[in-house]
Amino acid sequence: MAAGSIAAGAVAPRQSGRFHLPWRAILVTLVVLPFAVPFVWLILSALKPADQFYAFPPTLLPNPPSLANVDAVLRLLETPRLFANTLLVASLSTVFTVVSSAVVGFAFATIPARGSRLLFAVLIGTILIPQTALIVPQFILFSRLGWVGSYLPLIVPHLFGSAFFIFLFRQWFKSLPAHLFESAELDGATPLQAFRHVGLPLAGPAIAAVAVFSFIAAWNDFLGPLIYLRSPDTFTVSVAMATLDGIYVQNPQNSVAMALIVLIPPIVVFFIAQRFLVRGVGATGWRG
């Protein structure tokens, strides 16, 4: 099956059911609403001045909308610097993950080799390892390297690819006709050349999906920065957000406003890449 038709199947539902009565649209709206409502509530809550934020029973609309909470967190946290830090970590992580995962996934998909089945099973097996369990041994490693306090422990591991994204790329490349790569190699191309000149140009949606997921994962990462970053000037948004509250002091109106600010970049990235993302993710599921 060609990539083009997979994509069409995923994005534009061509099938026209027998019923086009509005009930279906109404039903879909009702079903879809719960997915959007929390975001709407987040925006409305963030714009409520404190007395309305703590109104009981709660009110729906801020009246009038106020930027007081947003102002308060912008005064409490140096948001531009946090965004710059997080952007740096997330961008480098994304580039490294995409490149390394694509190459490894390509090799698994297109080059038959002794041991590849076993290694692929190991790859899938690593997905089962609870990563929180490896925090201490990994910390000791990075500490011995003298990397703690810098961004290196957050970025360098992405050079080695990520099991799930390697899997995703493998699925993608396997869904492409094998003769594409075979003929490239018959023309004298090395597998690396076949990857660069034939594989990569056809991997757009998979690249987009992995890029978006790894960017947002790095943007949202909490445990990594918590363990490895020291100076508050180097913090990423998730860890900084956790400093808004103390064990005994809590100000949810600040946290809600910050949650809104922090969600903006991932949401923007999502909408920019959405079409490719759907195709890339959709391709992971059914090919053995």
Residues of span 247-286 touching other proteins by CB under 8 A? 247-253, 255-256, 258-260, 262-263, 266-267, 270-271, 274-275, 277-279, 281-286
Instruction: Select from 61, 182, 232, 272 the one that contacts other proteins (CB under 8 A).
Output: 232
Q: Applying CB under 8 A, which of residues 119, 180, 200, 202 lies at the interface with other proteins?
A: 119
- In Å, the largest CA–CA distance within the chain is 73
**Phi and psi, residue 261, nearest 5°:** -60, -45
- When the beta carbons of 1 and 67 are compared against other proteins, the nearer one is 1
Assigned token pair, 249 = 């002091």
136-139 long-range CB contacts below 8 Å, 24 or more apart?
A: 139/227, 139/228
Give me the DSSP letters along 120-171: HHHHHHHHTS-GGGGHHHHHHHHHHTT-BTBSHHHHGGGGG--HHHHHHHHH
Q: Does 91 bind other proteins (CB under 8 A)?
A: no
CB 194 to other proteins: min, Å: 10
Residues 20-79 that bind other proteins (CB under 8 A): 20, 24-25, 27-28, 31-32, 34-39, 41-42, 45, 50-51, 53-58, 60, 76-77
Complex with other proteins: residue 67 or 267, whichever CB lies closer: 267
DSSP 63: S
- Considering only residues 212 through 231, tell me which ones interact with other proteins, judged by CB under 8 A: 212-213, 216, 219-220, 222-223, 226-227, 230-231
> How far is 162 from 209, CA to CA, in rounded Å?
13
Q: Which residue lies nearer to other proteins by CB, 47 or 283?
A: 283
Binding-site member from 21, 23, 114, 179 for other proteins (CB under 8 A): 114
3-state percent helix, strand, coil for the chain, nearest multiple of 5: 75, 0, 25
Residues 127-156 that bind other proteins (CB under 8 A): 127-141, 143-144, 147-152, 155-156
